[in-house]
Amino acid sequence: MRRVLVTGANGFIGWHTLPRLLRRGFEVHGVSRRGVTVPGVYSHAADLLDPVQVTQLLQKIRPECLLHLAWYTEHRKFWTALENYRWVSASMHLADVFVRNGGMRLVVAGTCAEYDWSQGVCDEFATALQPRTDYGVCKNALRALLDGYTRHCGVSFAWGRVFHLYGPNEHPDRYVAYIIRSLLADKPAACTAGQQRRDFLHVEDVAEAFTAILQSDVIGPINIGSGSASSLAEVATQIAKILNRPGLLELGAIPMPADEPLTLLPTVRRLHSEIGWKPTYDLPRGLTHTVNWYRNQRDTAELKS
Amino acid sequence: MRRVLVTGANGFIGWHTLPRLLRRGFEVHGVSRRGVTVPGVYSHAADLLDPVQVTQLLQKIRPECLLHLAWYTEHRKFWTALENYRWVSASMHLADVFVRNGGMRLVVAGTCAEYDWSQGVCDEFATALQPRTDYGVCKNALRALLDGYTRHCGVSFAWGRVFHLYGPNEHPDRYVAYIIRSLLADKPAACTAGQQRRDFLHVEDVAEAFTAILQSDVIGPINIGSGSASSLAEVATQIAKILNRPGLLELGAIPMPADEPLTLLPTVRRLHSEIGWKPTYDLPRGLTHTVNWYRNQRDTAELKS
């Protein structure tokens, strides 16, 4: 049985990878600052920014595989935070002690923010890498460093570039969560006109994609997306339809930010053909699932109050 | 008086920057593993790979300017050494504590190995960055990280890309040193046919360029070169002429390595126009100076024996 360590195991994506890795037959270890409580998963509490703790952790677990999802992810702030630079060094140290303790397969979360956003459709090999944010600069530099380092050490390395995602437990101010929460509370949801085209993927599918990548032997950058584009207006309208509150949707109420690209989509040939992965949820099903989760949250909260 | 800390102060380039910075009126601090003994320079002994020592050093000195030249430079080995990756993290930590202790101007040594070598003539902004070695990958990633980090912190940052250099104290197996040493010892010097075109700069000029960059407020990458191209055959022939040993030169005795580009030259518009710097030595004078230094070394050694 192969042993895997998941960092960011309590995170938005990480938490969903744990049962999937168990199902695929891995011995699953999860690390976060406060540990992780998922049945069947070995829990570890550690601060990944502390190199001593990281060295001790990897010496103890000696995982064959590492799924590194932890990063600084404070909503909005992460784009321009200095913490990004600390996470580059911390991630290099983590990879180093992973390799020194017998590690063989490394998969790390990258981001669409590595690409030149003026290109619209982003291909792993054809599109220029031109990050414009601290987050993108740091992820892009880390990828280049890990690529060189793992080649040198003969370790298998893949880099899953996350595009747009949604689902249960998303930060309440992110696009899908904000609209669902507003409409569920019978409040208006103020949006841009919503012409921006994106590839939205349910967080469980993102987690499933990462586990599929981990289990494959495909190396290098791999875009994570459904392969279907939707405008933000279509996403919002779909949510309003599910909740039967079309009147509360205020498309065009706020201007589109100047730095936001009209089209930002991944090519998904690598994920779909080389990994052989397809999403479980299409957008209507994924949004319905997410709306139902928020309804349950609300009903549970009302029962408790 | 502005206070500058030079790392790699005992190195091939670093040692020559110290008197030049003194002449320009800096309070000069030099750090190396064993300290530095140059009159007028404050000496510091520290291991830059030890973050605790680095933090203490910067807290003590609190330099306004930092000229970071230290790196892993073991001849030939440095191209593919794992140490390169450690120097990225060490350099990021150094920059971080420099900024946190009042640092304002950072200049770091980059390399022509960051560029796509198939391009021949390398321009700071027009030529693709496509490093093919661990050394190039790490320097290129460090540059991107420092660029983002210093922009974020409002610190002035320049990156001097070193091309080809020679001069006293060069590693004895490097091109110019090898030919001079062979011919001085009346032994044949086996070379390739020498059609490769390079921009050779005397190490004192490289040091002078770095001090000029440090004192300027120009930011971003700056190629360091003379602006004159020579073939390796011309360089070798020039040395043989100075030493009057043309018969010992064996051009074409060894094949040209397959991965060696025929043309690898810098554009020097930024260095010459924006910084306003010009080299002191042309190739004949620089090679004569270097040959004389080797003659003195030999004569001194003979006197001692």
Residue A148 contacts B where some CB pair is shorter than 8 Å: yes
Of A85, A134, A153, the CB nearest to B92: A85
- A101-128 residue pLDDT tens: 999 999 999 999 999 999 899 999 999 9
Of B134, B141, B153, the CB nearest to A141: B141
CA of B87: which chain A residue's CA is closest?
A89
Q: What is the Rg, in whole angstroms, of the alpha carbon atoms belonging to chain B?
A: 19
Looking at residues A154-160, what average pLDDT do you find? 98
Looking at residues B165-177, what average pLDDT do you find? 94
CA of B90: which chain A residue's CA is closest?
A89
pTM over 0.90: yes
Tokens of A179: 């609209």
Residue B80 contacts A where some CB pair is shorter than 8 Å: yes
Cβ-proximal residues to A268 (8 Å cutoff; 6+ apart), any chain = A199, A223, A224, A225, A226, A227
Whether residue A141 and residue B145 make contact (CB cut-off 8 A), yes or no, is: yes
Distance from CA of A138 to the nearest CA of B (A): 6
Of B88, B96, B152, the CB nearest to A145: B88
Whether residue A85 and residue B96 make contact (CB cut-off 8 A), yes or no, is: yes
Whether residue B149 and residue A80 make contact (CB cut-off 8 A), yes or no, is: no
- A26-84 residue pLDDT tens: 999 999 999 999 999 999 999 999 999 999 999 999 999 999 999 999 989 999 999 99
Q: State the best of A145, A146, A153, A155 to mutate against chain B, taking most chain B CBs within 10 Å.
A: A145
Whether residue A85 and residue B93 make contact (CB cut-off 8 A), yes or no, is: no
Whether residue B88 and residue A93 make contact (CB cut-off 8 A), yes or no, is: no
Of B92, B140, B152, the CB nearest to A89: B92
pLDDT of residue A108: 98
Question: Mean pLDDT of all residues in chain B?
Answer: 96
- B187-224 residue pLDDT tens: 999 999 999 999 999 999 999 999 999 999 999 999 99
Distance from CA of B143 to the nearest CA of A (A): 9
Using a CB-CB cut-off of 8 Å, the residues of chain B touching A100 are none
Inter-CA distances, A226 with A231, A263, B42, B216, Å: 14, 15, 60, 50
Q: State the best of B78, B89, B94, B157 to mutate against chain A, taking most chain A CBs within 10 Å.
A: B89
Using a CB-CB cut-off of 8 Å, the residues of chain B touching A145 are 85, 88, 137-138, 141
- The 3-state DSSP class for residue B295 equals helix
Of B80, B92, B134, the CB nearest to A88: B92
- A161-215 residue pLDDT tens: 999 999 999 999 999 999 999 999 999 999 999 999 999 999 999 999 999 999 9
> Is residue A1 very low, low, confident or very high in pLDDT (cuts 50, 70, 90)?
low
pLDDT of residue A296: 92
User: Is the separation of the CB atoms in B260 and B191 below 8 Å?
Assistant: no
User: Is the separation of the CB atoms in A171 and A75 below 8 Å?
Assistant: yes
Of B89, B134, B152, the CB nearest to A148: B134
Using a CB-CB cut-off of 8 Å, the residues of chain A touching B72 are none
Q: Taking Cα atoms as reference points, which of B278, B275, B269, B272 lies closest to residue B123?
A: B269
Q: State the best of B88, B91, B142 to mutate against chain A, taking most chain A CBs within 10 Å.
A: B88
Of B85, B92, B152, the CB nearest to A134: B152
Size of interface A-B (CB pairs under 8 A): 56
Three-state SS for A154-212 is: CCEEEEEEECEEECCCCCCCCHHHHHHHHHHCCCCEECCCCCCEECEEEHHHHHHHHHH
Give the Cα separation of B73 and B260 in Å (integer).
20
Tell whether the model's pLDDT for residue A305 goes beyond 90. Answer: no
> Is residue B303 very low, low, confident or very high in pLDDT (cuts 50, 70, 90)?
confident
pLDDT of residue B301: 80
Whether residue A134 and residue B148 make contact (CB cut-off 8 A), yes or no, is: yes
- A243-263 residue pLDDT tens: 999 999 999 999 998 888 999
Whether residue B96 and residue A88 make contact (CB cut-off 8 A), yes or no, is: no
pLDDT of residue A302: 78
Whether residue A138 and residue B148 make contact (CB cut-off 8 A), yes or no, is: yes
Question: Which has more pLDDT, B250 or A299?
Answer: B250
Of A82, A89, A144, the CB nearest to B89: A89
Using a CB-CB cut-off of 8 Å, the residues of chain A touching B144 are 137, 140-141
User: Is the separation of the CB atoms in B251 and B190 below 8 Å?
Assistant: no
- B90-139 residue pLDDT tens: 999 999 999 999 999 999 999 999 999 998 999 999 999 999 999 999 99
> Is residue A301 very low, low, confident or very high in pLDDT (cuts 50, 70, 90)?
confident
Distance from CA of A28 to the nearest CA of B (A): 29
Residue with tokens 């003194």: B22
Give the Cα separation of B283 and A44 in Å (integer).
62
Distance from CA of A125 to the nearest CA of B (A): 13
Q: How many Cβ atoms are within 10 Å of B113's Cβ, its own excluded?
A: 22
> Is residue B1 very low, low, confident or very high in pLDDT (cuts 50, 70, 90)?
low
Using a CB-CB cut-off of 8 Å, the residues of chain A touching B152 are 80, 82, 134
CA of A84: which chain B residue's CA is closest?
B149
Using a CB-CB cut-off of 8 Å, the residues of chain A touching B145 are 85, 88, 137-138, 141
CA B212 to chain centre: 14
Using a CB-CB cut-off of 8 Å, the residues of chain A touching B149 are 82, 85, 134
pLDDT of residue A167: 97
Looking at residues B236-256, what average pLDDT do you find? 95
Q: State the number of CA atoms in the 13 A half-sphere of B126 facing the CB.
A: 10
Whether residue A85 and residue B153 make contact (CB cut-off 8 A), yes or no, is: no
Q: At what angle do helices B175-184 and B232-243 cross, to 10 degrees?
A: 30
Whether residue A137 and residue B144 make contact (CB cut-off 8 A), yes or no, is: yes
Q: At what angle do helices A83-100 and A134-153 cross, to 10 degrees?
A: 10
CA of A146: which chain B residue's CA is closest?
B85
Residue with tokens 């001079």: B180
